[in-house]
Amino acid sequence: MNSLLLSGGRVIDPASRFDSIADLLIQDGRIAALGPDADTRAPAEVARLDVKGLVVCPGLIDLHVHLREPGQAAKETIATGTAAAARGGFTTVVCMPNTSPPIDNSGTVALIHERAGRDAVVNVFATGAITKGIAGEELAQIGSLKKAGVVAITDDGHCVQNNELMRRALEYAHMFDLPILDHCQDYSLVSDGVAHEGYWSAMLGLRGWPAAGEELIVARNIQLAELTGGHVHCQHVSAAGSVRLIREAKGRGVPVSGEACPHHFVLTDAALAGSGKFWETDGKGVFGFHNGRAERPFWPAYDTNFKMNPTLRSASDRAAIIEGIVDGTLEILGSDHAPHCDYEKEVEFDYAPFGITGLETELALALMQLHHTGKLGLTDLIAKFTVAPARLLRLAGKGSLSVGADGDVTVFAPDREWVFTREQTASKSFNSPFYGWTLKGKPVATIVGGRVVWREK
Ligand SMILES: [Zn+2]
């Protein structure tokens, strides 16, 4: 019988609003006891982990990860992507279907499950495509994707432009009890934009990606969710108007939800002008750097590791994202971990692919911008990485520490400062804008099914 006792930590389980110094016993891959009986019920041969001074919480879930397998193994594999997840304190990742070939049929879902069974160090759940080949023209076999085990459908990286097709997708998905995760982007408005349309895109001569290009599709999704009863989850929300629309719709009971990524609540488009401009302007308030306590990292203008889709937006958009996270409008946090090879990113800004890695920095960035600034309590912050995504995707046994739940646990040091470096990266790719940053809050141990899969040396 395998068993593990975590003793003396501050256990926070948002699902049951539990927050107390307590012992936690995991036995045979499941949570067996929490509190005084954890120690008494532990068998004599139990493995012990002293976690005094650390936070112990349900294993973190990242519902927005690109593992790049099959077909793009130069960027990432299931092995390296899940190793990065474990380092970042994540016990479960949900992978996006824009692989090569895309995950748009039950055979490819089975392939992901088989490879994850062999190579993954954390749990992997797959999403399926909304449309065949993610081409936005014809619906994928949503029923057979569901049968094969996908937890949601999405064309992430792309966006279904045809409203009638999106309506049918929602009707089918609703019938099969699957949420749709949507990358909200109106192609006619955004065209070939690469930077938030505003002051900095004009100054830098970069083609604009207007906030309205996201807001229009968020509004469309709300209307269709209302019409069909199907749930739409808006991915990586970046614009103030999107937050306002989702807030209003949720207030009326429309089945819609929203997610925020750390880069959108830490950085702004001023970062595209280089670190000097960023620290002089929108970077002034960033936690840890606002008082000159941490050394301010340098990067040049047009650094392609600050290019992602949707783009970094203005300081007022960033403020609205944070406000939406704090008031519960955006109830889920995710990384949009999108690895790319160095050679792909080392080109002119216009030609570089969109996306950055994020699994290894997202917990720290969330703690810094949301918790250490006094905006969000630890329970509310952890909920956005645990019970909220588990509920949206109906991940049975995940996201809580109740007795009988899966033995997935994250241990982290909320106040520990560290510098993120390439040497510490388990991902196959290095396209992060946060190298050299002093971060506050560090994963210490990642436990999946009662087994320690990563531990700080
Ligand atoms: Zn996307």
How far away, in angstroms, is 435 Cα from ligand 1 center?
22
Look up residue 40 and give its two tokens.
Answer: 């008494």
Look up residue 385 and give its two tokens.
Answer: 């990485």
Return phi, psi of residue 232, to 5°: -115, 130
How far away, in angstroms, is 176 Cα from ligand 1 center?
23
For residue 207, how far is the Cα from the chain centroid? 27
pLDDT surpasses 70 at 37 = yes
151-173 pLDDT per residue, tens? 999 999 999 999 999 999 999 99
Residue environment code for 180-203, b if the CB has 16+ CB neighbours within 10 A, otherwise e: bbbbbbbeebbeebbbbbbebbee
Residue type, 368: M
89-124 pLDDT per residue, tens? 999 999 999 999 999 999 999 999 999 999 999 999
- Is the omega angle on the peptide bond into residue 339 within 30 degrees of 0, that is, cis? no
Interatomic CA distance for residues 257 and 384, integer angstroms:
12
How far away, in angstroms, is 153 Cα from ligand 1 center?
13
341-354 pLDDT per residue, tens? 999 999 999 999 99
Query: Could you say which DSSP state residue 250 is in?
Result: H
Interatomic CA distance for residues 433 and 357, integer angstroms:
9
Q: Which residue has the tokens 């969000």?
A: 376
How far away, in angstroms, is 63 Cα from ligand 1 center?
12
* Cβ-Cβ contacts under 8 Å for 158 (sequence gap 6 or more): 98, 134, 136, 183
Look up residue 79 and give its two tokens.
Answer: 């092995």
- Tell me, yes or no, if the pTM score tops 0.85: yes
User: Any alpha helices (H) in 229-314, and if so which ranges?
Assistant: 240-251, 262-266, 275-280
How far away, in angstroms, is 181 Cα from ligand 1 center?
9
Look up residue 348 and give its two tokens.
Answer: 């002119």
- The full DSSP string for 298-336 is P--TT-GGG--SSPP--HHHHHHHHHHHHTTSS-EE---
Interatomic CA distance for residues 302 and 297, integer angstroms:
15
pLDDT surpasses 80 at 219 = yes
* Cβ-Cβ contacts under 8 Å for 167 (sequence gap 6 or more): 224, 227, 228
What radius of gyration, in Å, describes the C-alpha atoms of the chain?
21
| Partner residues linked to 445 by β-bridges | 411, 455
* Among the listed residues 405, 399, 387, the one whose alpha carbon sits nearest the alpha carbon of residue 28: 405
* Mean pLDDT over the full length of the chain: 97
What pLDDT was estimated at residue 457?
Answer: 85
Active site members: 336
* Cβ-Cβ contacts under 8 Å for 309 (sequence gap 6 or more): 157, 183, 185, 209, 354, 355
Going from the C-alpha of 14 to that of each of 19, 23, 54, 303, 416, the distances in angstroms are 8, 16, 16, 38, 22
Query: Could you say which DSSP state residue 337 is in?
Result: B
The count of other CB atoms within 10 Å of the CB of residue 205 is: 10
Interatomic CA distance for residues 166 and 163, integer angstroms:
5
| Partner residues linked to 251 by β-bridges | none
What pLDDT was estimated at residue 1?
Answer: 62
How far away, in angstroms, is 76 Cα from ligand 1 center?
17
279-297 pLDDT per residue, tens? 999 999 899 888 777 889 9
For residue 415, how far is the Cα from the chain centroid? 21
* Among the listed residues 366, 288, 409, the one whose alpha carbon sits nearest the alpha carbon of residue 12: 409
How far away, in angstroms, is 161 Cα from ligand 1 center?
14
How far away, in angstroms, is 306 Cα from ligand 1 center?
15
User: Exposed, middle or buried by CB within 10 Å (0-12, 13-18, 19+), for 374?
Assistant: exposed
Average pLDDT, integer, range 213-229: 98
What pLDDT was estimated at residue 235?
Answer: 98
Interatomic CA distance for residues 59 and 410, integer angstroms:
5
H/E segment holding residue 236: none
CB 25 within 8 A of CB 32: yes
Kindly provide the residue ranges of all beta strands, DSSP E only, lying in 14-162, ordered along the sequence. 18-27, 30-34, 47-50, 55-58, 60-65, 90-95, 123-126, 153-154
* Cβ-Cβ contacts under 8 Å for 451 (sequence gap 6 or more): 2, 4
Average pLDDT, integer, range 410-415: 98
Return phi, psi of residue 23, to 5°: -95, 150
* Among the listed residues 59, 64, 14, 13, the one whose alpha carbon sits nearest the alpha carbon of residue 259: 64
User: Who has greater pLDDT, 290 or 259?
Assistant: 259
How far away, in angstroms, is 155 Cα from ligand 1 center?
8
How far away, in angstroms, is 264 Cα from ligand 1 center?
13
